[in-house]
């Protein structure tokens, strides 16, 4: 796909610190039960937009059911909601599972979003697709938006094919956001940080790949930044990740320190010794020069993001919405 990027309203980033948007949007979030989708819905409401979120398997309150493979239901939903923008953070992101079932990987990550995007475009809506650093081979990261792609896995190939097919079909109605290693508070509690905190809190040794390098990305920051991009009428391709590029073990140790857990339980081994099912890009990560030119500091460093992670887990207004990371002391 083209690596071009344009933005219609750069003024959005001149005063992005809070408050309500000047121009309310009607939005549809496909995958509103996921970690990015959930935060998109919260920030859309905070900014004064009208938004509807969908779920496939986790029926959280306020979400409407949608099987993205059901084109008729998706068309009816778009016709009913009349969105200005459709966000599509849904996907099949289990990389090893994608390697085992290529047909499912391509259906969920390519064919279904492409069909919904075409329907959205016919209705006059813009479309926001979420992609990954797995479109690169990890030979020479971190990567800028215009770096040559070369996916190693079924997952990465499906995402790259989706980027290209969507760009061909939608043109400047498309915003593609690449992100990676997303972590932070969320409704389902499934991301890497949750898994790590739970394992360490139970005294388990956590064996992690020492040679996989990428960009940890704080989920609330990703969602909020993507919303600002949508408000600004952005189109094309942009990387939205955290500012650091680190290995998986260093990232895990930062998380452990933030939660006052035992770092010595984290053991690093080369990827080749761990035996993961799908090939990974090792020396990866994404550069954010394009994003920083719009608004410096939109995605926070790990230390600040992890402080916010802990604060959100304890925030009274999020109790019952965010999944706890630690069991009560009496249960541990």
φ, ψ for residue 286, nearest 5 deg: -125, 135
Label residue 20 by pLDDT band (50, 70, 90): confident
pLDDT tens per residue across span 239-277: 999 999 999 999 999 999 999 999 999 999 999 999 888
Q: What share of the chain is helix, strand, coil (3-state, %, to 5)?
A: 45, 15, 40
Look at residue 332 in the predicted model and tell me its pLDDT.
Answer: 44
- Gap between the Cα atoms of 77 and 100, Å rounded: 32
pLDDT at 11: 87
Report pLDDT digits (tens) over 120-165: 999 999 999 999 999 999 999 999 999 999 999 999 999 999 999 9
If one compares 45 and 275, the residue with the highest pLDDT of the two is 45
Ramachandran bin of 12, using left for φ above 0, alpha for ψ from -120 to 50, beta for the remaining angles: alpha
Note the pLDDT of residue 282: 97
Average pLDDT score over the chain: 94
- Domains of the chain and any CATH numbers: 5-324 (3.40.50.720)
**Dihedral angle sign, alpha carbons of residues 145, 245, 132, 122:** negative
Question: By the 8 A CB rule, do 155 and 95 touch?
Answer: yes
Instruction: Give the residue-averaged pLDDT of 48-52.
Output: 96
How much is the pLDDT for 280?
Answer: 95
pTM of the full structure: 0.95
Please count the other Cβ atoms lying within 10 Å of the Cβ belonging to residue 209: 19
Q: What is the mean pLDDT of residues 204-225?
A: 97
Q: Using one digit for the tens of pLDDT, what is the confidence trace for 80-101? A: 999 999 999 999 999 999 999 9
């Amino acid at each position: 796909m083209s690596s071009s990027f344009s933005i219609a309203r750069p003024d959005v980033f001149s005063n992005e610190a809070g408050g309500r948007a000047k121009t309310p949007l009607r939005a549809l979030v496909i995958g509103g039960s996921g970690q990015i989708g959930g935060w998109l819905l919260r920030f859309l409401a905070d900014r004064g937009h009208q938004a509807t979120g969908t779920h496939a398997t986790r029926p959280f309150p306020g979400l409407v059911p949608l099987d993205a493979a059901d084109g008729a239901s998706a068309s009816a939903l778009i016709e009913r909601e009349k969105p200005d923008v459709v966000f599509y953070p849904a996907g099949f992101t289990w990389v090893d599972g994608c390697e085992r079932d290529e047909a499912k990987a391509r259906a969920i990550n390519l064919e279904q979003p492409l069909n919904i995007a075409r329907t959205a475009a016919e209705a006059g809506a813009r479309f926001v697709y979420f992609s990954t650093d797995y479109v690169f081979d990890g030979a020479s990261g971190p990567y800028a938006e215009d770096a040559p792609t070369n996916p190693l896995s079924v997952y990465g190939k499906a995402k790259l094919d989706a980027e290209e097919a969507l760009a061909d079909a939608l043109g400047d109605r498309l915003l593609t956001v690449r992100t990676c290693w997303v972590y932070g508070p969320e409704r389902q509690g499934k991301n890497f940080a949750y898994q790590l905190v739970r394992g360490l809190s139970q005294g388990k040794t956590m064996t992690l790949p020492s040679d996989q390098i990428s960009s940890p990305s704080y989920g609330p920051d990703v969602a909020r930044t993507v919303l600002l991009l949508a408000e600004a009428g952005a189109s094309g391709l942009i990387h939205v990740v955290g500012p650091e590029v680190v290995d998986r073990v260093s990232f895990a140790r930062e998380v452990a320190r933030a939660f006052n857990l035992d770092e010595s339980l984290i053991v690093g081994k080369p990827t080749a010794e761990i035996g993961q099912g799908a090939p990974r890009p090792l020396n990866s990560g994404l550069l954010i020069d394009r994003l920083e030119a719009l608004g410096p500091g939109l995605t926070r460093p790990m230390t600040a993001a992890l402080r916010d992670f802990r604060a959100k887990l304890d925030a009274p207004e999020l109790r019952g919405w965010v999944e706890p990371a630690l069991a009560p002391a009496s249960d541990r």
